[in-house]
């Protein structure tokens, strides 16, 4: 057994996501979208990593195209933990294949390069013992599935881990923090598709596991590895992969974790006409979305100037124009309009709206003709 190990972990690779319409509009090819995962794999080779692991969502769709499979084959991970984009409901097609070790279903220990990996694949109640889970309300099913998972993980951590070996946890899951279990309301119909949320504190409390490295949330930090690329305009910020160095100190294993920023991830920015000027000095972005609120007295040429400047600096600029809608002030009267004579209410409405006198006169004439009032 070695006295030092290095693991590279990536997550949410989403092979095939370049076909999403907004990325297609930007001209993003599969080769460009797949670069960060390849970059992390190469970093591992150049820096003597012992393992390369994908913490879920290797694919963007549960039925990948052949080109997506070829990209994954070239990546050649040592372990893939199933994510929600890889494996769906019971009977759905599983995007993952058996060329590598794939962790799916309930938690297990995978031994690779003398390192014990405790896996936590995407959670489905159908993967657990029906006697422990079913026969309850949906709310209870979620709670009991969560409890079953934590019991399984604790059993593995206490009884199955060989403490002479290094051990880490890798999974794909939705976390909560500070004891918040995100329990849905009994009458909340949204729970029909509710993710089973695991408290991060409960994972950290499991013994003999040096750290948890998870997929699903695309922003790195607080247990999450982070995605290789953005998958929508809200998925901004620096992308990075995780490196875990494990060293024998003479009486225990020490775990050191660091994030390595990708150099090949797409760089995106969003702005509005309130703050777009910073884009002129912020360097080049692969894509910019500018939302422009057009007010009644605005000069359209200002938008044209901003668009010309941004298009000259960034390869792709998407402009969304929102137009200000003026809403009439609420009519306030001593007596509610609904209790006033109809003609008086109509006159009060025109007065409140400050209708032009000629328009008011013609409107009331039409009103009188319809209602038969003088």
Per-residue pLDDT tens over the stretch 20-52: 999 999 999 999 999 999 999 999 999 999 999
Sheet (strand 108-112) strand order: 108-112, 115-120, 167-172, 212-215
Task: Name every residue whose Cβ is closer than 8 Å to that of residue 331 and which is 6 or more positions away in sequence.
Answer: 337, 348, 349, 352
Task: Decide if 173 contacts 198 (C-beta within 8 A).
Answer: yes
Residue 283 — pLDDT band, cuts 50, 70, 90?
Answer: confident
Strand partners, 6: 245
Copy the structure tokens of residue 121.
Answer: 């694949």
Task: Decide if 346 contacts 364 (C-beta within 8 A).
Answer: yes
Residue 280 — pLDDT band, cuts 50, 70, 90?
Answer: confident
**pLDDT value of residue 186:** 42
pLDDT, the chain, mean: 88
- Is 135's pLDDT higher than 70? no
Distance CA 51, CA 285 (A): 33
Distance CA 323, CA 303 (A): 13
**pLDDT value of residue 329:** 57
Question: Closest Cα partner for 217 from 30, 360, 83?
Answer: 83
Give the H/E segment covering residue 123: none
Structural domains in the chain plus CATH codes:
4-261 (3.60.21.10), 268-323 (no CATH), 337-371 (no CATH)
Average pLDDT over residues 277-298: 88
């Amino acid at each position: 057994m070695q006295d030092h190990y290095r693991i590279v972990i990536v997550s949410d690779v989403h092979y095939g996501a370049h076909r999403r319409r907004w990325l297609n509009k930007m001209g993003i090819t599969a080769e460009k979208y797949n670069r960060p995962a390849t970059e992390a794999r190469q970093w591992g080779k150049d820096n003597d990593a012992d393992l390369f692991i994908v913490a879920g969502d290797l694919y963007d769709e549960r039925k990948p195209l052949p080109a997506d499979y070829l990209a994954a084959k070239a990546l050649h991970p040592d372990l893939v933990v199933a994510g929600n984009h890889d494996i769906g409901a019971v009977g759905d097609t599983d995007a993952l294949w058996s060329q590598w070790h794939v962790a799916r279903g309930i938690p297990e220990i995978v031994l690779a390069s003398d390192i014990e990996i405790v896996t936590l694949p995407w959670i489905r109640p159908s993967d657990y013992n029906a006697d422990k889970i079913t026969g309850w309300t949906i709310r209870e099913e979620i709670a009991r599935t969560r409890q079953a998972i934590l019991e399984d993980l604790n059993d593995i951590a206490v009884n199955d881990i060989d403490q002479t070996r290094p051990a880490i946890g890798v999974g794909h899951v939705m976390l909560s923090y500070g004891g918040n279990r995100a329990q849905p309301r009994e009458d909340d119909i949204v729970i029909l598709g509710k993710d089973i949320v695991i408290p991060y504190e409960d994972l950290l409390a499991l013994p003999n596991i040096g750290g948890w490295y998870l997929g699903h949330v695309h922003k790195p930090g607080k247990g999450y590895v982070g995605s290789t690329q953005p998958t929508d305009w809200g998925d901004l910020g620096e992308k990075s992969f995780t490196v875990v160095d494990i060293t024998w100190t003479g009486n225990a294993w020490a775990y050191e974790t660091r994030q390595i920023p990708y150099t090949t991830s797409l760089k995106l920015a969003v702005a509005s006409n309130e703050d777009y000027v910073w884009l002129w000095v912020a360097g080049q972005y692969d894509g910019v979305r500018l939302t422009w609120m057009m007010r009644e007295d605005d000069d359209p040429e200002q938008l044209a100037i901003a668009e010309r400047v941004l298009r000259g600096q960034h390869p792709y600029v998407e402009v969304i124009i929102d137009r200000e809608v003026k809403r009439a002030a609420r009519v306030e009267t001593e007596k509610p309009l609904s209790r006033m004579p109809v003609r008086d209410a109509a006159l009060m409405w025109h007065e409140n709206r400050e209708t032009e006198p000629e328009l008011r006169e013609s409107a009331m004439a039409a009103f009188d003709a319809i209602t038969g009032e003088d």
